[in-house]
Amino acid sequence: MAHDERILKHEEQMEGLETRAPGWIDSVMRIVDAVTQPQQRLDGWMRRGTELDNEALQHRVKSADAHAHRATETARELEREITRLHAEIDDFEI
């Protein structure tokens, strides 16, 4: 059987299905939707979970950066205080 003949035969069979069972396509579509919808919901949940993870990580990075900045400022203040106290000790030794 030639390729074109096979294609025509297949098309005739498909047309036959549509005329014999018009609800068949709807049934298949409902099944496909039933399978697709949970996957789409799962994909949406996964995307949202990733977004929440990214937001949480960004918050933690900002928080750690702010903490590091405060610690640096505290260290500088303590160094100034140590320098002042060394100067005060030097004044007593004279």
pTM above the 0.85 mark? Answer: no
Decide: 25 and 18 in contact? Cβ < 8 Å: yes
Domain ranges of the chain: 59-94
Q: Which is it for the CA torsion 18, 22, 28, 33, positive or negative?
A: positive
pLDDT at 94: 66
Query: Which pLDDT score is estimated for 75?
Result: 98
DSSP per-residue codes, 58-73: HHHHHHHHHHHHHHHH
Is the pLDDT at 16 greater than 60? The verdict is: no
C-alpha to C-alpha distances, 93 to 62, 79, 81, 85, 87, nearest whole angstrom: 47, 21, 18, 12, 10
CA torsion sign for 54, 56, 59, 61 is negative
Range with lowest mean pLDDT among 11-15, 40-44, 52-56: 11-15
